[in-house]
Amino acid sequence: MKILGIETSCDNIGISIFDSIKNTFVFNKIFNQLIHKKYGGVVPNLASIHHSNNIYEYFKKTIKKYNININNDIDCIACTAGPGLFGSLVIGSCFSKSLSYSIKKPFYEINHLEGHLLSSLIYKKYNINKIFPFISLIISGGNTKLIFSEKIGNYKIIGETLDDSIGEIIDKIAKKLKLNYPGGPEIYKLSKFGTENIYKFPIPIINNNNLNFSFSGLKTYIINIIDKYKKIDNRLKYNISLELQNTLSNILIKKSFNSLKKFNVKTLLISGGVSSNIFIRKKFKTFFKGKNIKIFFPKIRFCTDNGAMIAYACYMNILYNKYYFPNNKLNIFINTKWSIENV
């Protein structure tokens, strides 16, 4: 089975084809919008306009480059239906549904967060019957969630941010330090030159029983430190970046470990754009070494929003979720706040 996956929930356009027989991707193309850099964040209406103006051309160039016959080389189409930005979701869904209708192929709607969650398993060796139950930590620009799962298509949110997402605090501190957007890669690069223990940041709601996150107080605390300096020099950037990554890693590890103990689970999946951070990955691997916990990270190329994770999530649901069916009607389903609990 060859599944075309299309992702347009935010500013990226992701197009990919997953070949389930060969267990590989024919291609995985991600088209980024550089226009948002000068605004220091994603501007929703610009994102949807860009999608509208470019999605067909991107698709046409991609299938031509990889010599894809859309009638013979695609068995079904999967597209992100939420959560995400309404305008971006509409463009992707309308394009995908129109394509599926024109070539008479089944059309599947995929939850964006389920795509991230299952991306941790792409190209990994595992026994599907032994991997469950698992805890999933999704860390991205828009989400910070802990999710408990006993099977594909069945998810329960057991912890989430009460205010800012982890990606938001990183971008906002980066902006305060006058760094480029997105802030994650900039913070990571600068942290390599930082000195340990120059600053000590607070760790909010870290008790054992509460699995929720809160980053707004931490954000304000760091901004107040930066505001005390008349000049933002490199040394300040280095040390703030290092301690920010240390603090965020400690919060994520503590919450994840508490959730694993609470639910008596031995498998942890970590995904989302922030999971590409090498510093955070190393911290997790060091902490869990020797604790008899299996940790799955996506390959770096599957961390950011991409079509591969959508195609793969569709495949996993077709294979293991008996309640998963295509939507072959002419209408499209869009839900900007589609909870992963309701897939």
What pLDDT, in 10s, does the model give residues 88-101?
A: 999 999 999 999 99
Superfamily for domain range 2-117+303-342: ATPase, nucleotide binding domain (3.30.420.40)
Q: What is the pLDDT of residue 208?
A: 67
* Residue where the block lists tokens 């940041």: 201
Q: What is the mean pLDDT of residues 37-65?
A: 95
**203 or 308, which is more confident?**
308
Q: What is the mean pLDDT of residues 16-22?
A: 97
Report residue 17: phi and psi, to 5°. Answer: -125, 125
Q: Map residue 224 onto helix, strand or coil.
A: helix
- pLDDT for residue 313 is more than 80: yes
Q: How would residue 3 be classed by pLDDT, with cut points 50, 70 and 90?
A: very high
d(CA 332, CA 343): 15
Structure confidence by residue, pLDDT tens digits, 156-190: 999 999 999 999 999 999 999 999 999 999 999 99
Q: DSSP assignment, residue 116? A: H
- 2-117+303-342 matches 130-298 in fold: yes
* Residue where the block lists tokens 């997402």: 165
H or E segment to which residue 63 belongs: helix 44-65
Collect all residues with Cβ–Cβ distance below 8 Å to 156 and sequence separation of at least 6. 147, 148, 149, 341
> What's the chain's average pLDDT?
96
pTM score, whole prediction:
0.96
Q: What is the pLDDT of residue 205?
A: 82
CB 97 within 8 A of CB 105: no
Collect all residues with Cβ–Cβ distance below 8 Å to 203 and sequence separation of at least 6. 218, 247, 250, 251, 254
Domain ranges of the chain: 2-117+303-342, 130-298
CB 54 within 8 A of CB 31: yes
Superfamily for domain range 130-298: ATPase, nucleotide binding domain (3.30.420.40)
- pLDDT for residue 26 is more than 80: yes
